Amino acid sequence: MKSIVFLGTNKTGSSYEGIRAAKRLGYETILLTNRTIFVEERKDYIEIDDVRLINMSDTDEILSAITDLIVEGKKVECFISFLDEYVYLAALLSNTLCNSPLTYEPLEIMTDKILTRKYLSGKSYSPFFKVLSSPETINHELKELKDQFPLIIKSPQSNGSKDVILVENIWECKKGVKQLHRKNSESPILVEEYLEGPQYLVEVVVYNSTITIAAIVEQEVIKAERFIITGYSVFPELLVEQLPGLKETVFSIIGDFQLRNGTCHLEIKLTNNGWKLIEINPRMAGGAMNRMIEEAFGYNLAEQTIRLFAGLEPEFIKMQNKAIYTHYLIVGSVGKVLKVTGCDSAKEQVGVLEVYTKAEYGQIVTPPRSMGQRYGYVLAAADSKDQARECAINGAQHIQFYLQPV
Protein backbone atom coordinates (compact mmCIF):
# COMPACT_ATOMS: atom_id res chain seq x y z
CA MET A 1 0.00 0.00 0.00
CA LYS A 2 1.26 3.46 -0.88
CA SER A 3 1.89 5.75 2.08
CA ILE A 4 1.93 9.49 2.69
CA VAL A 5 4.04 10.80 5.57
CA PHE A 6 2.78 13.89 7.37
CA LEU A 7 5.22 16.07 9.26
CA GLY A 8 3.10 17.32 12.16
CA THR A 9 -0.58 18.16 12.31
CA ASN A 10 -3.09 20.01 14.44
CA LYS A 11 -6.03 18.19 16.01
CA THR A 12 -8.51 19.97 13.72
CA GLY A 13 -8.60 22.30 10.74
CA SER A 14 -6.88 22.13 7.37
CA SER A 15 -3.86 20.13 8.53
CA TYR A 16 -5.94 17.28 9.93
CA GLU A 17 -8.31 17.44 6.98
CA GLY A 18 -5.27 16.78 4.82
CA ILE A 19 -4.84 13.46 6.66
CA ARG A 20 -8.53 12.67 6.15
CA ALA A 21 -8.17 13.45 2.44
CA ALA A 22 -5.15 11.16 2.06
CA LYS A 23 -7.04 8.34 3.75
CA ARG A 24 -10.04 8.95 1.49
CA LEU A 25 -7.75 8.75 -1.57
CA GLY A 26 -6.61 5.30 -0.47
CA TYR A 27 -3.19 6.04 1.06
CA GLU A 28 -1.77 4.71 4.30
CA THR A 29 -1.34 7.75 6.55
CA ILE A 30 1.79 8.02 8.68
CA LEU A 31 2.23 10.89 11.13
CA LEU A 32 5.54 12.09 12.57
CA THR A 33 4.74 14.26 15.57
CA ASN A 34 5.91 15.44 18.99
CA ARG A 35 2.33 15.69 20.29
CA THR A 36 1.57 12.81 22.63
CA ILE A 37 -2.19 13.29 22.27
CA PHE A 38 -2.12 11.45 18.93
CA VAL A 39 -0.73 8.38 20.74
CA GLU A 40 -2.70 8.69 23.97
CA GLU A 41 -6.05 9.25 22.23
CA ARG A 42 -5.59 7.16 19.07
CA LYS A 43 -9.26 6.20 19.00
CA ASP A 44 -10.18 9.84 18.30
CA TYR A 45 -7.91 10.03 15.24
CA ILE A 46 -8.95 6.99 13.26
CA GLU A 47 -7.72 8.42 9.94
CA ILE A 48 -4.11 8.09 11.12
CA ASP A 49 -2.77 4.60 10.45
CA ASP A 50 0.66 4.96 12.04
CA VAL A 51 1.99 7.49 14.58
CA ARG A 52 5.70 7.95 15.27
CA LEU A 53 6.40 10.09 18.33
CA ILE A 54 9.68 11.98 17.85
CA ASN A 55 11.40 15.30 18.58
CA MET A 56 10.18 17.39 15.64
CA SER A 57 12.67 20.18 16.37
CA ASP A 58 15.54 17.78 15.62
CA THR A 59 15.95 17.32 11.86
CA ASP A 60 18.29 14.37 12.39
CA GLU A 61 15.60 12.58 14.41
CA ILE A 62 13.05 13.24 11.65
CA LEU A 63 15.45 11.80 9.07
CA SER A 64 16.12 8.80 11.32
CA ALA A 65 12.38 8.11 11.60
CA ILE A 66 12.06 8.33 7.82
CA THR A 67 14.96 5.90 7.40
CA ASP A 68 13.14 3.48 9.70
CA LEU A 69 10.02 3.73 7.52
CA ILE A 70 12.00 2.97 4.37
CA VAL A 71 13.79 0.03 6.03
CA GLU A 72 10.38 -1.30 7.08
CA GLY A 73 9.39 -1.34 3.42
CA LYS A 74 6.91 1.54 3.46
CA LYS A 75 6.15 2.72 -0.07
CA VAL A 76 6.19 6.45 0.59
CA GLU A 77 4.51 8.40 -2.18
CA CYS A 78 5.32 11.82 -0.70
CA PHE A 79 6.03 13.82 2.42
CA ILE A 80 3.77 16.72 3.23
CA SER A 81 3.06 19.25 5.94
CA PHE A 82 0.36 21.86 6.39
CA LEU A 83 2.35 23.53 9.20
CA ASP A 84 4.73 26.43 8.54
CA GLU A 85 7.73 24.97 10.33
CA TYR A 86 7.82 21.75 8.28
CA VAL A 87 6.52 22.77 4.84
CA TYR A 88 9.94 23.33 3.29
CA LEU A 89 11.45 20.15 4.75
CA ALA A 90 8.49 18.06 3.57
CA ALA A 91 8.77 19.40 0.02
CA LEU A 92 12.55 18.89 0.00
CA LEU A 93 12.13 15.29 1.18
CA SER A 94 9.46 14.65 -1.46
CA ASN A 95 11.77 15.89 -4.19
CA THR A 96 14.81 14.03 -2.88
CA LEU A 97 13.27 10.70 -1.90
CA CYS A 98 10.11 10.49 -4.03
CA ASN A 99 11.18 12.33 -7.19
CA SER A 100 8.28 14.76 -6.82
CA PRO A 101 8.55 17.87 -9.03
CA LEU A 102 7.69 20.27 -6.19
CA THR A 103 9.33 23.68 -6.31
CA TYR A 104 10.76 23.65 -2.81
CA GLU A 105 13.27 26.53 -3.03
CA PRO A 106 10.71 29.39 -2.77
CA LEU A 107 9.09 27.75 0.26
CA GLU A 108 12.18 28.40 2.37
CA ILE A 109 12.00 32.10 1.50
CA MET A 110 8.26 32.29 2.22
CA THR A 111 8.71 30.93 5.75
CA ASP A 112 10.81 33.99 6.69
CA LYS A 113 9.14 37.41 6.50
CA ILE A 114 12.45 39.27 6.09
CA LEU A 115 13.74 36.98 3.34
CA THR A 116 10.40 37.41 1.56
CA ARG A 117 10.51 41.23 1.73
CA LYS A 118 14.11 41.33 0.52
CA TYR A 119 13.40 38.87 -2.29
CA LEU A 120 10.45 40.94 -3.51
CA SER A 121 12.06 44.33 -2.84
CA GLY A 122 11.25 46.95 -5.47
CA LYS A 123 8.15 45.20 -6.82
CA SER A 124 5.08 47.38 -7.30
CA TYR A 125 3.06 45.21 -4.92
CA SER A 126 5.67 45.41 -2.13
CA PRO A 127 5.15 47.98 0.63
CA PHE A 128 7.93 50.00 2.25
CA PHE A 129 9.97 47.97 4.74
CA LYS A 130 13.13 48.21 6.81
CA VAL A 131 15.08 45.66 8.83
CA LEU A 132 16.31 46.56 12.32
CA SER A 133 19.18 44.15 12.79
CA SER A 134 21.57 45.64 15.33
CA PRO A 135 20.45 46.66 18.85
CA GLU A 136 23.29 49.18 18.94
CA THR A 137 21.99 51.12 15.93
CA ILE A 138 18.23 50.82 16.51
CA ASN A 139 17.82 54.28 18.09
CA HIS A 140 19.46 55.89 15.07
CA GLU A 141 17.43 53.76 12.64
CA LEU A 142 14.19 54.63 14.40
CA LYS A 143 14.88 58.36 14.00
CA GLU A 144 14.98 57.79 10.24
CA LEU A 145 11.41 56.45 10.45
CA LYS A 146 9.90 59.48 12.21
CA ASP A 147 7.94 60.58 9.12
CA GLN A 148 6.71 57.05 8.25
CA PHE A 149 4.27 56.34 11.10
CA PRO A 150 2.03 54.44 11.60
CA LEU A 151 4.14 51.33 11.06
CA ILE A 152 3.98 47.59 11.67
CA ILE A 153 6.83 45.84 13.48
CA LYS A 154 7.07 42.07 13.53
CA SER A 155 9.27 39.05 14.06
CA PRO A 156 10.49 37.44 10.80
CA GLN A 157 8.97 34.09 11.83
CA SER A 158 5.65 35.52 13.03
CA ASN A 159 2.46 33.73 12.07
CA GLY A 160 -1.15 34.00 13.11
CA SER A 161 -0.63 37.66 14.13
CA LYS A 162 1.81 36.66 16.87
CA ASP A 163 4.57 39.21 17.38
CA VAL A 164 2.96 41.71 14.99
CA ILE A 165 2.54 45.17 16.53
CA LEU A 166 1.05 48.42 15.22
CA VAL A 167 3.05 51.46 16.37
CA GLU A 168 1.92 55.08 15.96
CA ASN A 169 5.08 56.94 17.03
CA ILE A 170 8.74 56.62 18.07
CA TRP A 171 7.86 55.90 21.72
CA GLU A 172 5.49 53.03 20.81
CA CYS A 173 8.03 51.71 18.33
CA LYS A 174 10.80 51.58 20.94
CA LYS A 175 8.43 49.86 23.36
CA GLY A 176 7.44 47.31 20.70
CA VAL A 177 11.06 46.65 19.74
CA LYS A 178 11.93 45.95 23.39
CA GLN A 179 8.95 43.62 23.62
CA LEU A 180 10.07 41.61 20.59
CA HIS A 181 13.68 41.57 21.78
CA ARG A 182 12.58 40.13 25.13
CA LYS A 183 11.21 37.14 23.22
CA ASN A 184 14.28 36.75 21.01
CA SER A 185 17.20 39.13 21.48
CA GLU A 186 19.08 37.62 18.53
CA SER A 187 16.34 38.00 15.93
CA PRO A 188 16.21 41.03 13.62
CA ILE A 189 12.96 42.99 13.50
CA LEU A 190 10.97 43.75 10.38
CA VAL A 191 9.38 47.18 10.05
CA GLU A 192 6.66 47.59 7.43
CA GLU A 193 4.40 50.31 6.11
CA TYR A 194 0.91 50.22 7.63
CA LEU A 195 -1.61 49.76 4.83
CA GLU A 196 -5.27 50.76 4.77
CA GLY A 197 -7.85 49.01 2.62
CA PRO A 198 -9.98 45.88 2.31
CA GLN A 199 -8.02 42.68 2.93
CA TYR A 200 -8.33 39.36 1.10
CA LEU A 201 -6.88 35.90 1.44
CA VAL A 202 -6.09 34.21 -1.87
CA GLU A 203 -5.55 30.44 -2.08
CA VAL A 204 -3.23 29.45 -4.93
CA VAL A 205 -2.32 26.07 -6.41
CA VAL A 206 0.35 25.76 -9.11
CA TYR A 207 0.62 22.60 -11.21
CA ASN A 208 3.14 22.38 -14.05
CA SER A 209 3.38 26.21 -14.00
CA THR A 210 -0.38 26.59 -14.44
CA ILE A 211 -1.68 28.88 -11.70
CA THR A 212 -5.14 28.29 -10.24
CA ILE A 213 -6.75 30.75 -7.84
CA ALA A 214 -8.68 28.19 -5.79
CA ALA A 215 -10.49 30.74 -3.61
CA ILE A 216 -10.67 34.43 -2.76
CA VAL A 217 -11.75 35.10 0.81
CA GLU A 218 -12.69 38.49 2.21
CA GLN A 219 -11.37 39.05 5.72
CA GLU A 220 -12.75 41.09 8.60
CA VAL A 221 -9.93 42.41 10.76
CA ILE A 222 -10.21 43.98 14.21
CA LYS A 223 -7.41 46.25 15.36
CA ALA A 224 -6.96 45.79 19.10
CA GLU A 225 -3.63 44.89 20.73
CA ARG A 226 -2.97 42.86 17.58
CA PHE A 227 -4.57 42.50 14.16
CA ILE A 228 -7.02 39.64 14.58
CA ILE A 229 -9.19 38.26 11.79
CA THR A 230 -12.63 37.54 13.22
CA GLY A 231 -14.53 36.89 10.00
CA TYR A 232 -13.93 35.12 6.67
CA SER A 233 -16.33 35.41 3.77
CA VAL A 234 -16.58 33.50 0.49
CA PHE A 235 -19.48 34.44 -1.76
CA PRO A 236 -20.52 34.00 -5.42
CA GLU A 237 -19.97 37.66 -6.35
CA LEU A 238 -16.38 37.55 -5.10
CA LEU A 239 -14.72 36.69 -8.39
CA VAL A 240 -11.26 37.60 -9.57
CA GLU A 241 -12.91 39.51 -12.42
CA GLN A 242 -14.67 41.76 -9.90
CA LEU A 243 -11.35 42.82 -8.35
CA PRO A 244 -9.41 44.58 -11.13
CA GLY A 245 -5.72 43.91 -11.05
CA LEU A 246 -5.88 41.12 -8.46
CA LYS A 247 -5.25 38.26 -10.87
CA GLU A 248 -2.35 40.08 -12.50
CA THR A 249 -0.80 40.86 -9.11
CA VAL A 250 -1.16 37.28 -7.85
CA PHE A 251 0.26 35.84 -11.06
CA SER A 252 3.14 38.31 -10.89
CA ILE A 253 3.98 37.29 -7.31
CA ILE A 254 3.90 33.57 -8.16
CA GLY A 255 6.00 34.24 -11.25
CA ASP A 256 8.55 36.24 -9.25
CA PHE A 257 8.91 33.30 -6.86
CA GLN A 258 9.26 30.93 -9.86
CA LEU A 259 6.80 28.55 -8.22
CA ARG A 260 6.06 25.79 -10.77
CA ASN A 261 4.51 23.12 -8.54
CA GLY A 262 3.20 23.91 -5.09
CA THR A 263 0.61 25.69 -2.99
CA CYS A 264 0.52 28.92 -1.01
CA HIS A 265 -1.86 31.52 0.28
CA LEU A 266 -1.48 35.26 0.08
CA GLU A 267 -2.89 37.98 2.28
CA ILE A 268 -3.26 41.06 0.14
CA LYS A 269 -4.80 44.53 0.49
CA LEU A 270 -6.38 46.85 -2.03
CA THR A 271 -4.91 50.27 -1.20
CA ASN A 272 -5.09 53.67 -2.87
CA ASN A 273 -1.80 52.69 -4.52
CA GLY A 274 -3.03 49.35 -5.84
CA TRP A 275 -2.70 45.82 -4.52
CA LYS A 276 -0.07 45.32 -1.81
CA LEU A 277 1.18 42.01 -0.45
CA ILE A 278 0.77 41.72 3.33
CA GLU A 279 2.33 38.27 3.48
CA ILE A 280 2.63 34.97 1.67
CA ASN A 281 2.63 31.55 3.35
CA PRO A 282 3.86 28.32 1.72
CA ARG A 283 0.73 26.28 2.46
CA MET A 284 -3.04 26.54 2.38
CA ALA A 285 -4.60 28.51 5.24
CA GLY A 286 -5.53 26.64 8.39
CA GLY A 287 -8.54 26.72 10.68
CA ALA A 288 -11.89 26.46 8.95
CA MET A 289 -10.56 27.43 5.51
CA ASN A 290 -10.76 23.99 3.92
CA ARG A 291 -14.31 23.46 5.14
CA MET A 292 -15.35 26.93 3.93
CA ILE A 293 -14.04 26.33 0.44
CA GLU A 294 -15.65 22.90 0.20
CA GLU A 295 -19.02 24.24 1.32
CA ALA A 296 -18.74 27.19 -1.06
CA PHE A 297 -17.57 25.39 -4.21
CA GLY A 298 -17.78 21.64 -3.64
CA TYR A 299 -14.07 20.84 -3.93
CA ASN A 300 -11.75 19.99 -1.06
CA LEU A 301 -8.56 22.07 -1.21
CA ALA A 302 -6.70 19.83 1.25
CA GLU A 303 -7.45 16.87 -1.03
CA GLN A 304 -6.23 18.73 -4.10
CA THR A 305 -3.04 19.60 -2.21
CA ILE A 306 -2.51 15.90 -1.46
CA ARG A 307 -3.03 15.10 -5.14
CA LEU A 308 -0.45 17.71 -6.14
CA PHE A 309 2.20 16.41 -3.69
CA ALA A 310 1.51 12.85 -4.84
CA GLY A 311 2.20 13.85 -8.46
CA LEU A 312 -1.45 13.91 -9.59
CA GLU A 313 -3.20 16.80 -11.27
CA PRO A 314 -5.45 18.76 -8.88
CA GLU A 315 -9.11 19.03 -9.91
CA PHE A 316 -11.06 22.26 -9.39
CA ILE A 317 -14.55 21.55 -10.67
CA LYS A 318 -17.15 23.80 -9.08
CA MET A 319 -20.08 21.68 -7.97
CA GLN A 320 -21.87 24.59 -6.27
CA ASN A 321 -21.48 28.28 -5.54
CA LYS A 322 -22.76 29.27 -2.09
CA ALA A 323 -22.08 32.19 0.22
CA ILE A 324 -20.17 31.06 3.32
CA TYR A 325 -19.21 33.08 6.37
CA THR A 326 -17.13 31.99 9.36
CA HIS A 327 -17.31 34.06 12.53
CA TYR A 328 -14.56 33.42 15.09
CA LEU A 329 -15.19 33.51 18.84
CA ILE A 330 -13.06 35.68 21.12
CA VAL A 331 -13.34 36.76 24.75
CA GLY A 332 -13.18 40.26 26.21
CA SER A 333 -11.37 39.52 29.47
CA VAL A 334 -8.82 37.21 31.05
CA GLY A 335 -10.29 34.33 32.99
CA LYS A 336 -10.44 30.63 33.76
CA VAL A 337 -13.11 28.76 31.80
CA LEU A 338 -15.90 27.47 34.03
CA LYS A 339 -18.17 26.39 31.21
CA VAL A 340 -19.19 27.16 27.64
CA THR A 341 -22.90 27.06 26.84
CA GLY A 342 -25.15 27.52 23.84
CA CYS A 343 -23.29 25.43 21.27
CA ASP A 344 -26.25 23.13 20.63
CA SER A 345 -28.56 26.11 20.34
CA ALA A 346 -26.15 27.78 17.90
CA LYS A 347 -26.15 24.65 15.71
CA GLU A 348 -29.94 24.83 15.42
CA GLN A 349 -29.97 28.36 14.01
CA VAL A 350 -30.88 28.96 10.37
CA GLY A 351 -27.95 28.58 8.00
CA VAL A 352 -25.45 27.32 10.59
CA LEU A 353 -23.42 24.39 9.28
CA GLU A 354 -20.81 23.94 11.97
CA VAL A 355 -20.03 25.13 15.49
CA TYR A 356 -16.59 24.51 16.96
CA THR A 357 -15.19 25.54 20.34
CA LYS A 358 -11.80 24.62 21.75
CA ALA A 359 -11.93 26.27 25.19
CA GLU A 360 -11.96 23.60 27.92
CA TYR A 361 -12.84 23.67 31.61
CA GLY A 362 -10.02 25.20 33.64
CA GLN A 363 -8.27 26.73 30.63
CA ILE A 364 -7.04 30.32 30.95
CA VAL A 365 -8.39 32.42 28.08
CA THR A 366 -7.49 35.99 27.15
CA PRO A 367 -8.49 38.71 24.72
CA PRO A 368 -6.70 37.89 21.46
CA ARG A 369 -3.06 38.78 20.98
CA SER A 370 -2.73 36.17 18.23
CA MET A 371 -5.02 34.11 16.00
CA GLY A 372 -4.42 31.16 18.32
CA GLN A 373 -6.39 33.01 20.98
CA ARG A 374 -9.63 32.66 19.08
CA TYR A 375 -11.62 29.99 20.89
CA GLY A 376 -13.89 28.60 18.20
CA TYR A 377 -16.06 29.57 15.28
CA VAL A 378 -19.51 29.40 13.77
CA LEU A 379 -19.68 28.59 10.06
CA ALA A 380 -22.85 29.41 8.13
CA ALA A 381 -24.20 29.32 4.58
CA ALA A 382 -26.83 31.39 2.77
CA ASP A 383 -27.70 32.82 -0.63
CA SER A 384 -25.74 36.05 -0.14
CA LYS A 385 -22.72 37.36 1.75
CA ASP A 386 -24.78 39.49 4.12
CA GLN A 387 -27.21 36.68 4.89
CA ALA A 388 -24.39 34.21 5.59
CA ARG A 389 -22.70 36.72 7.89
CA GLU A 390 -25.96 37.38 9.72
CA CYS A 391 -26.56 33.64 10.20
CA ALA A 392 -23.05 33.05 11.58
CA ILE A 393 -23.16 35.99 13.99
CA ASN A 394 -26.67 35.06 15.11
CA GLY A 395 -25.44 31.55 15.90
CA ALA A 396 -22.41 32.92 17.75
CA GLN A 397 -24.62 35.09 19.96
CA HIS A 398 -26.05 31.94 21.55
CA ILE A 399 -22.59 30.87 22.77
CA GLN A 400 -21.54 32.09 26.21
CA PHE A 401 -18.15 31.74 27.90
CA TYR A 402 -18.40 31.70 31.70
CA LEU A 403 -15.08 32.83 33.17
CA GLN A 404 -13.63 33.07 36.64
CA PRO A 405 -11.45 36.20 36.82
CA VAL A 406 -7.76 35.57 37.45
How far apart are the C-alpha atoms of 305 and 313, rounded to whole Å? 9
Q: How far is CA 251 from CA 107, 201, 243, in A?
A: 16, 14, 14
Phi, psi values for residue 88, rounded to 5° = -65, -45
Quote the pLDDT of residue 224.
Answer: 62
Quote the pLDDT of residue 165.
Answer: 85
How far apart are the C-alpha atoms of 349 and 228, rounded to whole Å? 26
Mean pLDDT, each 10-residue run in order, the chain (406 residues):
96 95 97 96 95 96 96 96 95 94 93 93 95 72 80 76 79 84 80 92 97 95 77 87 90 97 96 95 94 96 96 94 96 95 97 96 91 93 95 97 94
How far apart are the C-alpha atoms of 335 and 264, rounded to whole Å? 36
192 contacts 264 by C-beta, under 8 angstroms: no
How far apart are the C-alpha atoms of 269 and 313, rounded to whole Å? 30
